[in-house]
Amino acid sequence: GENVEQHPSTLSVQEGDSAVIKCTYSDSASNYFPWYKQELGKRPQLIIDIRSNVGEKKDQRIAVTLNKTAKHFSLHITETQPEDSAVYFCAASNPPNDMRFGAGTRLTVKP
Amino acid sequence: GAVVSQHPSRVICKSGTSVKIECRSLDFQATTMFWYRQFPKQSLMLMATSNEGSKATYEQGVEKDKFLINHASLTLSTLTVTSAHPEDSSFYICSAPRGRGGYTFGSGTRLTVV
C-alpha cells in the first residue's frame, strides 16, 4: 500500500520568510496529492492540491510542486504570516481509493 | 456541496461501554467512507474503509470485532467502538471521496474513555 513520508516534523521561520515542507510517496498509482492545514481538534482543511498531470500549482502565497519520477512533492509558503502557524499534512491517493497522510509538520511563524 | 455531517462531536464514556459515531452524507451519495483515527500530535491513520452494502475492510492491526462499521445506506456510515477502554480515547474522523478527485471530511469526534 501507499506510504507517505513527510519532513520536517517541526519548522520554525521568521515572519516574512518562506517555508518548505517535503513529502515522498511510494505508490506509483497515486495521482492526487493534497495538502491540509489542521487546527487542534478540527477537521483537516484543504489548502491546495495537485494532480499528477501537472508539475506545479500556485495559489497566492502557496505553491505545490510535484516530481512524479522521483515520487516527491513539496509545499511552499512564501511571505509567511503568524496565522500560517499550524500543523500541515501532505497526503497521497488514487481517488476514489483511500488517502494516506504524512506524519505532519508543525509550522511556527515567529512575529 | 459534498458535505459530511459527523456526530457526536464529543463524547465521554465509561470504560467497557460502547459508543457509536455517525457520518452522514447530506447532499451526495457516499458509497465509500474512510474512517481515520488521530492520536494527539500524530497523523490521521486509516482504520477501515466502509462500502455501502458490503463488509468493511480493515487496516492491519485494527480489530474488526472492536471497531464495528456499518454502511447500510448510501448516506450513512457508522463506527461503533465496542467495550471502549482509555487507550481508545482519540479523535475519530470520517472522509468520503467526492467528485473531481477530492475528499470531504466529517467534523470529527473526540472520544474520551474514563
Q: Please give the Cα distance from B56 to B36 (Å, whole number).
A: 13
Query: What pLDDT band is residue A84 in, cutting at 50, 70 and 90?
Result: very high
Q: Please give the Cα distance from A19 to A100 (Å, whole number).
A: 23
pLDDT at B48: 97
pLDDT tens digits along B34-50: 999 999 999 999 999 99
In sequence order, the 6+-apart residues with CB closer than 8 A to the CB of B23 are B4, B5, B6, B30, B33, B76, B77, B78, B79, B94, B96, B106
Q: What is the mean pLDDT of chain B?
A: 95
φ, ψ for residue B34, nearest 5 deg? -105, 135
pLDDT tens digits along B71-109: 989 999 999 999 999 999 999 999 999 877 799 999 999
A42 interaction partners in chain B (CB closer than 8 Å): 107-108
**Hey, what amino acid is at B112?**
T
The pLDDT of A65-87, averaged and rounded, is 97
pLDDT at A1: 84
φ, ψ for residue B87, nearest 5 deg? -70, -10
Query: What pLDDT band is residue B51 in, cutting at 50, 70 and 90?
Result: very high
Query: What pLDDT band is residue A77 in, cutting at 50, 70 and 90?
Result: very high
pLDDT at B72: 84
pLDDT tens digits along A37-61: 999 889 999 999 999 888 999 999 9
Q: Chain B contact for A51, CB < 8 A?
A: yes
Q: What percent of chain A has pLDDT over 90?
A: 95
Q: Which residue of B44, B46, B51, B92 is the best one to mutate when testing the A interface, meaning the one whose CB has the most A CBs within 10 A?
A: B44
pLDDT at B98: 87
Distance (Å) from the alpha carbon of B82 to chain A's nearest alpha carbon: 23
**Greatest CA separation found in chain A?**
41
CB A88 within 8 A of CB A21: yes
Among the partner-chain residues A34, A93, A102, the one whose CB lies closest to the CB of B43 is A102
Helix (H) or strand (E) holding A63: strand A62-67
**3-state SS, residue A38:** strand
Q: What percent of chain B has pLDDT over 70?
A: 100
**Hey, what amino acid is at A2?**
E
Residues 41-60 of B with CB under 8 A from A: 42-46, 49
Q: Do B44 and A32 touch (CB under 8 A)?
A: no
- Cis (ω within 30 of 0) for the bond into A8? yes
Q: Do B43 and A89 touch (CB under 8 A)?
A: yes
Q: Burial level of B62, CB count in 10 A (0-12/13-18/19+)?
A: middle
